[in-house]
Amino acid sequence: IGQLVHVWITLTYSGLSTSDTSAYSITGLPFAHDIDEALSGFNANTSDGLGNKGNITGAAFTGVTVISLMDATGPFTYADSNAAAGTLKITFAYKSIY
């Protein structure tokens, strides 16, 4: 729709170490984002797992086609999730540079 890109993603993960401080990141978005625009309408929910899902407050671009999930203190990490397996559903929109 013009330059607005709508994204619906389901992430299924397993075997994660809850002591790992790597952030949940999504790479390979279909279009590079407009550097002056943020994600809009971000919503994260789960069908199972991800014990601390309530801590996810949004996401931020960490590259032109990469976003990282965020909590109140910064990137939302595997350790923050407190769950080794689960399914996370994410929806958001962003403005592309095309």
Question: Token pair for residue 66?
Answer: 């990469």
Of the candidates 38, 34, 30, the one whose C-alpha atom is nearest the C-alpha of residue 8 is 30
38-58 per-position pLDDT tens digit:
888 888 776 555 656 667 888
Helix (H) or strand (E) holding 81: helix 78-81
pTM for the complete prediction?
0.78
Using CB atoms within 10 A of its CB, is residue 94 exposed (0-12), middle (13-18) or buried (19+)?
A: buried
In this prediction, the residues of the chain whose per-residue pLDDT falls under 50 are none
